[in-house]
């Protein structure tokens, strides 16, 4: 079995601007709904400081090791990894951001995921280090944004949409959770947190709307007890909204694959970077100009934007040794002078072929 993300067909981030909107609950139930449809599914609990997947999925088994890699825990066929099973003491995870990033990197590259149709990544709320690391280290198929209908949640959700757009990750859509309470006795639906905000945010942002999930005590109870809501209710009743969500995610993920602004091919030919933005139309980049346009903090002052690197310090015969993709939005370039720390965003590289002017590539 292969470690890392190589044999995973679709990697989907589940994100929210605010905590407590039900992002982890949506991740778990989406995983069970995809599994019920016959797909092979994995879940990474990207919330390093506040992992909730062991509880929601209903397993606190400890992962084992094999050949220096982690064998993920499995619950009803869904593989998962979480800080909650790596550190089952229940004590707070107290670590600085670089260590949390390292933990996420290990979940991405050091786990024996094997072949999967879907890997869902339950992200912590916000648009910080973890989100950015994921966007750089994984080639995400797309992101699902979870919100509740309240104004404060919707406003912060917009930041998540913006972040994924910036790093060229397709937004598969917005889900409105806790959308209304359907009374089992009188049949009436009460929009406790209002309703319709998710759909209007989706329209405003020009991204798909994936539907509403009701506020339902059974959804809460299944999460608290670690019960598979989808199989328990045979995809009906409180589970129906998640089955419908899975259908929409599958459909939108196929579309997202078709419309990507990534290059078709990147090659290094005789020390020069060559990028085909369209099939069979390679464009060449001047290496000296590319090196001078490096956006890293060693070459450009992060605070003032002033260029530190001088043209005189670059060898005239500088060449490109190799490139490395950074998520779906850019690449790092390894130059013959040993420099490789800049991230060249595709959106900036495009149109600069055949002579690169200095520009800001930074994310
Ligand atoms: P987040 O991951 O956004 O912080 P959680 O998934 O942990 O949020 O959910 C927060 C709480 O809300 C949990 O107790 C969960 O059971 C509950 N919850 C989430 N979605 C629903 C829902 N649709 N109906 C009822 N309770 C829900």
Integer Cα distance of 188 and 270 in angstroms: 70
216 lines ligand 1 (CB under 6 A): yes
Answer yes or no: is pLDDT of 349 > 90.
no
Residues 251 and 269 reside in one and the same domain: no
Per-residue DSSP letter, 76? T
Question: Is the Cβ–Cβ distance between 79 and 116 less than 8 Å?
Answer: yes
27 lines ligand 1 (CB under 6 A): no
pLDDT of 359 reads 46
| Domain's final residue, options 234, 258, 282 | 258
227 lines ligand 1 (CB under 6 A): no
CATH number at residue 337: 3.30.2020.30
Arithmetic mean of pLDDT, 338-352: 87
Arithmetic mean of pLDDT, 241-266: 83
Structure-derived torsion over alpha carbons of residues 151, 157, 158, 159, reported in degrees to the nearest 10: 130
Ligand 1 geometric centre to CA of 168 (Å): 28
pTM above the 0.75 mark?
A: yes
Residues 283 and 147 reside in one and the same domain: no
Identify the residue whose C-alpha is closest to ligand 1 atom 24. Answer: 215
Question: Is the Cβ–Cβ distance between 66 and 72 less than 8 Å?
Answer: no
CATH number at residue 100: 3.40.50.300
Ligand 1 geometric centre to CA of 206 (Å): 26
Count up the domains in the chain and report the number.
Answer: 2
Ligand 1 geometric centre to CA of 123 (Å): 14
Ligand 1 geometric centre to CA of 270 (Å): 55
Question: Is the Cβ–Cβ distance between 175 and 16 less than 8 Å?
Answer: no
Between 207 and 362, the higher pLDDT residue: 207
Residue 242 in tokens? 């998640």
Answer yes or no: is pLDDT of 17 > 90.
no
Q: What is the per-residue DSSP string for 164-216? A: HHHTT--EEEEEEES--EE-TTT--EE-TT-SSHHHHHHHHHT--EEEEE---
In a domain, 1, yes or no: no
65 lines ligand 1 (CB under 6 A): no
Arithmetic mean of pLDDT, 35-55: 95
In a domain, 96, yes or no: yes
Answer yes or no: is pLDDT of 356 > 70.
no
Residues 107 and 181 reside in one and the same domain: yes
Question: Is the Cβ–Cβ distance between 141 and 11 less than 8 Å?
Answer: yes
Ligand 1 geometric centre to CA of 260 (Å): 32
Q: What are phi and psi of 103, to 5 degrees?
A: -65, -45
Give the number of the atom of ligand 1 that is nearest the alpha carbon of residue 25: 6
Ligand 1 geometric centre to CA of 200 (Å): 22
Among 22, 174, 225, 227, name the best residue to mutate to test ligand 1's pocket (greatest count of ligand atoms within 8 A of Cβ): 22
Name the pLDDT band for 258 (thresholds 50, 70, 90).
Answer: low
Domain of 335 in residue numbering reads as 265-361
Q: What is the pLDDT of residues 278-321, one digit of tens each?
A: 888 888 899 999 999 998 999 999 888 889 999 999 999 999 99
Ligand 1 geometric centre to CA of 219 (Å): 8
Answer yes or no: is pLDDT of 193 > 90.
no
Residues 217 and 322 reside in one and the same domain: no
SS3 92: coil
Answer yes or no: is pLDDT of 362 > 90.
no
Question: Is the Cβ–Cβ distance between 124 and 50 less than 8 Å?
Answer: yes
The Cβ of residue 132 has, within 10 Å, a number of other Cβ atoms equal to: 16
Ligand 1 geometric centre to CA of 201 (Å): 20
In a domain, 80, yes or no: yes
| Domain's final residue, options 258, 290, 316 | 258
In a domain, 3, yes or no: no
223 lines ligand 1 (CB under 6 A): yes
Residues 190 and 299 reside in one and the same domain: no
Residues 252 and 284 reside in one and the same domain: no
Identify the residue whose C-alpha is closest to ligand 1 atom 4. Answer: 20
Ligand 1 geometric centre to CA of 75 (Å): 20
Residues 278 and 253 reside in one and the same domain: no
Integer Cα distance of 249 and 255 in angstroms: 10
Residue 123 in tokens? 């992200």
pLDDT of 278 reads 85
Among 220, 229, 244, name the best residue to mutate to test ligand 1's pocket (greatest count of ligand atoms within 8 A of Cβ): 220
Per-residue DSSP letter, 126? S
């Amino acid at each position: 079995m292969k470690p890392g993300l190589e044999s995973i067909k679709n990697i989907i981030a589940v994100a929210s601007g605010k905590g407590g909107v039900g992002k982890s609950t949506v991740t778990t139930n989406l995983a069970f709904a995809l599994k019920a449809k016959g797909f092979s599914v994995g879940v990474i609990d990207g919330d390093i400081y506040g992992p909730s997947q062991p509880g929601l999925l209903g397993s606190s088994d400890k992962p084992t090791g094999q050949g220096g890699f982690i064998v993920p825990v499995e619950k009803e066929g869904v593989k998962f990894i979480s800080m909650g099973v790596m550190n089952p003491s229940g004590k707070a995870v107290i670590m600085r951001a670089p260590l949390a990033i390292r933990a996420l990197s290990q979940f991405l590259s050091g786990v024996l995921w094997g072949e999967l149709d879907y890997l869902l990544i339950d992200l912590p709320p916000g648009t910080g280090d973890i989100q950015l690391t994921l966007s750089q280290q994984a080639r995400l198929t797309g992101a699902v944004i979870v919100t509740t209908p309240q104004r404060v949640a919707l406003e912060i959700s917009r930041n998540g949409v913006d972040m994924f757009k910036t790093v060229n990750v397709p937004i598969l859509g917005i889900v409105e959770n806790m959308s209304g309470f359907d009374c089992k006795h009188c049949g009436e639906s009460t929009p406790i947190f209002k309703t319709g905000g998710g759909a209007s945010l989706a329209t405003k942002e020009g991204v798909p709307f994936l539907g509403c999930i009701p506020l339902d005590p059974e959804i809460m109870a299944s999460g608290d007890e670690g019960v598979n809501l989808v199989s328990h209710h045979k995809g009906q009743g409180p589970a129906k909204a998640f089955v419908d969500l899975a259908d929409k995610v599958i459909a939108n993920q196929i579309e997202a694959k078709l419309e990507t602004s990534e290059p078709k091919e990147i090659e290094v030919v005789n020390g020069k970077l060559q990028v085909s933005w369209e099939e069979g139309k390679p464009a060449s980049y001047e290496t000296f100009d590319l090196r001078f346009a490096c956006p890293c903090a060693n070459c450009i002052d992060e605070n003032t934007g002033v260029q530190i690197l001088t043209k005189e310090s670059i060898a005239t015969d500088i060449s490109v040794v190799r490139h490395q993709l950074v998520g779906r939005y850019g690449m790092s370039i390894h130059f013959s002078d040993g420099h490789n720390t800049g991230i060249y965003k595709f959106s900036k590289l495009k149109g600069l072929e055949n002579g690169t002017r200095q520009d800001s590539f930074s994310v």
